């Protein structure tokens, strides 16, 4: 069965942290749905506007194998302020993989309880959004069904970790080789 992935974009998302997983997951054969939180055209933190496949509200009745949350300060805050985003994350965590990078682990996942007892990385300084959270200084951490990435510079490694979790390490290695990573 082909894994299904929901990538949620909110205004102010970090472009590299969104586009890299979308691209590599599609290369791997995953069914990727890019969902805009409030709009079909979403502006990133550096002005890149990305067209989405659907609105998040149109995806809420579906079950996905993975949800991906790109970071970006404003983007993460916009994601965290949405009950629908938190609901989609918690629902996916029941049987699937939750992947968040940069500010999203602390800012968004910190509101869900999913970080409790997990080793987590993220953008340095974002711990202030989640009292008691200690971020590891690693680029990417997989702890059970939770994958966290540190920042835009970790986007390739983060994306390949998601592929390894949804498919296997052989598939992740093949994609890495394809893009000469």
d(CA 30, CA 121): 25
Note the pLDDT tens digit of each residue in 25-71. Answer: 999 999 999 999 999 999 999 999 999 999 999 999 999 999 999 99
Give the pLDDT mean for 113-141: 96
Note the pLDDT tens digit of each residue in 92-111. Answer: 999 999 999 999 999 999 99
What one-character DSSP code corresponds to residue 41?
Answer: E
pLDDT of 67: 98
d(CA 30, CA 167): 9
Q: How confident is the model at residue 15 (pLDDT cuts 50, 70, 90)?
A: very high
The answer to whether residues 24 and 159 touch, using CB atoms and an 8 Å cutoff, is yes
Three-state SS sequence of 134-175: CEECCCEEEECCEEEECCHHHHHHHHHHHHHHHCCHHHHHHH
Closest CA to 148 of 113, 115, 112: 115
Mean pLDDT score across all residues of the chain: 98
Residue linked to tokens 């990305």: 50
Beta bridge partners of 41: 51
The answer to whether residues 148 and 17 touch, using CB atoms and an 8 Å cutoff, is no
- Quick one: what percent of the chain has pLDDT higher than 70? 100
d(CA 74, CA 72): 6
Measure CA 16 to chain center. 12
Which residues are the active-site residues? Answer: 102
Closest CA to 115 of 125, 104, 123: 104
Q: How confident is the model at residue 112 (pLDDT cuts 50, 70, 90)?
A: very high
pLDDT of 12: 98
Q: How confident is the model at residue 160 (pLDDT cuts 50, 70, 90)?
A: very high
The answer to whether residues 24 and 163 touch, using CB atoms and an 8 Å cutoff, is yes
Beta bridge partners of 155: none
pLDDT of 109: 98
pLDDT of 45: 98
pLDDT of 177: 98
Note the pLDDT tens digit of each residue in 62-89. Answer: 999 999 999 999 999 999 999 999 999 9
């Amino acid at each position: 069965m082909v894994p299904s992935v929901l990538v949620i974009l909110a205004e102010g998302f970090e472009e590299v942290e969104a586009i890299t997983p979308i691209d590599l997951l599609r290369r791997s054969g995953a069914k990727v749905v890019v969902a805009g939180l409030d709009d079909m055209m979403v502006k990133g933190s550096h002005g890149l506007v990305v067209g989405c496949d659907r609105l998040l509200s149109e995806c809420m009745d579906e079950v996905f194998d993975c949800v991906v949350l790109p970071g970006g300060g404003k983007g993460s805050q916009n994601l965290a302020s949405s009950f629908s985003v938190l609901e989609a994350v918690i629902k996916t965590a029941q049987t699937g993989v939750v992947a968040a990078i940069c500010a999203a682990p602390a800012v968004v996942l910190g509101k869900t309880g999913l970080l409790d007892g997990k080793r987590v990385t993220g953008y340095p300084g974002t711990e202030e959004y989640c009292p008691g959270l200690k971020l590891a200084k690693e680029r990417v951490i997989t702890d059970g069904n939770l994958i966290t990435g540190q920042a835009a510079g970790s986007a390739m490694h983060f994306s390949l970790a998601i592929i390894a979790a949804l498919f296997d390490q052989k598939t992740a290695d093949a994609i890495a080789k394809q893009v000469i990573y």
